[in-house]
Amino acid sequence: MEVVTIFGVFAVILVGIAATGIRIVPQAKVMVVERLGKFYKTASSGLNFLIPFVDSPRAIEMRTGNRFMRSNLVDLREQVMGFDTVQVITHDNVNMEVGSVIYYQIVEPAKALYQVENLALAIEQLTMTNLRNIMGGLTLDQTLTSRETVNTKLRMVLDEATEKWGVKVTRVELREIEPPQAIKAAMAKQMTAERERRAEVTKAEGDKAAAILQAEGEKISRILRAEAERDAEIARAEGHKRATMLQAEGKAEATRLVFEAIHNGRATPEVLALRYMETLQELGKGDNKMFVPYEATATLGAVASLKEVFTQTADTARPAAPAPARSAASLNSQGIARNVVVPEHATLPGGTPAVPPRRQQRPVQDAQDD
């Protein structure tokens, strides 16, 4: 009975020892296993068996927030490590407080354990020293306006330094930059002055643009007004031209109709001469006006023709009677009328002869004998 009990206790002890060798590693984590104090393997996620008292996990110190914690598992996920603000001096001797955040990932767990004693502390100190070096080469304005440049330089330096530790630095960000209070006040004044200057420049540009637009508007208005006046003058001139043409056409048509009427009516030269005289009388009406016909000889010939016509008409209408004694004045006027020479080429409008062909002149003595 005692032997069975001893074997049972021994079996329980063996099972307990074997159970201590069973290790379950979560996903995205690994375990660095040492055998007899020497690196043996890296246990991946899942079920793993270790030889009790021979194989043992190697602990790693990780930073969580502001605390450092030891763990047998190495996290392969990307880690975030934030640092408190540190004092830096810029190239133009301005003290500033700068805070940063670094993102890194362990890609080779064995190097992270065996190449550096405390990985989190080493990364923190390396980040602070390189941040001071980079910020010391920049001026105040460059540090405030070149954050992306600072981030890129710092990431490249940290990535190169942590490569032998099995760590990959993925990203570095400057969290905050705090210049001194005096510098803040000066920057506020500078910003206010700059904004006022921009406001004045913007206002001046607006006034300039408004003046230019107004001038262009006035220019276009004057051009349009001039074009409108020009078109109106052209329209009035065309209307006057059209009216004059219509009036001239009307006069021409009236003249043509009068000429046709005279031609169709077969007017005698005596009638045309009478109309000519009436026209001269109409033209000579008015005060202080004297009209001298251009063809005076033709007019005198017309008067002589009318006199002869009226004389012949009176002779045929009354019986023959002895001729009365004539005075010397009447004989002289008659002789003057008969002696008037009328040009044969004198014509009225339309080509009609102003007077009939002249008769042969008779001496005054012959007229007295009659």
Mind listing the pLDDT tens digit for each residue in 176-234? 888 888 888 888 898 899 999 999 999 999 999 999 999 999 999 999 999 999 999 99
- pLDDT for 364 beyond 50: no
Q: Which residue has the higher pLDDT, 280 or 30?
A: 30
Lowest-confidence segment of 53-67, 107-121, 143-157 by average pLDDT: 53-67
Give the residue with greater pLDDT, 287 vs 348: 287
What is the reported pLDDT for 180? Answer: 85
Confidence bin at 361 (pLDDT 50/70/90): very low
Query: What domains, with CATH codes, occur in the chain?
Result: 1-58 (no CATH), 75-179 (3.30.479.30)
Check residue 353 and report its DSSP letter: B
Predicted pLDDT of residue 298: 55
Question: What b-and-e string marks burial along 86-106, b requiring 16 or more CB atoms within 10 Å of the CB?
Answer: bebebeeebebebbbebebeb
CA 183 to chain centre: 44
Residue 179 DSSP class: -
**Which pLDDT value is given to residue 221?**
92
pLDDT in tens, 299-346: 556 556 655 655 665 555 454 444 444 433 343 334 433 433 344 444
Cα 99 to the chain's mean position, in Å? 49
Chain-centroid distance of CA 130 in Å reads 52
Q: What is the pLDDT at residue 200?
A: 93
Name the more confident of 139 and 6. 139
Closest residue by Cα to residue 57 from 43, 75, 44, 45: 43
Mean pLDDT is lowest, of 12-26, 77-91, 103-117, for 12-26
Q: Which of 67-71, 119-123, 215-219, 261-265 comes out lowest in average pLDDT?
A: 261-265
Q: Half-sphere exposure of 337 toward its Cβ, with a 13 Å CA cutoff?
A: 14
- pTM for this prediction: 0.49
Look at residue 348 and tell me whether its pLDDT is greater than 70. no
pLDDT for 267 beyond 50:
yes
Mean pLDDT, residues 295-299: 53
Mean pLDDT of all residues in the chain? 77
The percent of residues above 70 in pLDDT, for the chain, comes to 72
CA dist., res. 222 & res. 65, Å (int)? 77
Instruction: Say yes or no to pLDDT of 245 above 80.
Output: yes
Give, in order, the Cα–Cα distances in Å from 139 to each of 85, 130, 135, 150, 154: 19, 16, 8, 12, 17
Cα(337)–Cα(332) distance, integer angstroms: 9
Question: What average pLDDT does the segment 255-284 reach?
Answer: 72
pLDDT score for 326 = 44
Segment 86-95 shows an average pLDDT of: 88
Residue 310: name the closest of 281, 364, 343, 273 by CA: 273
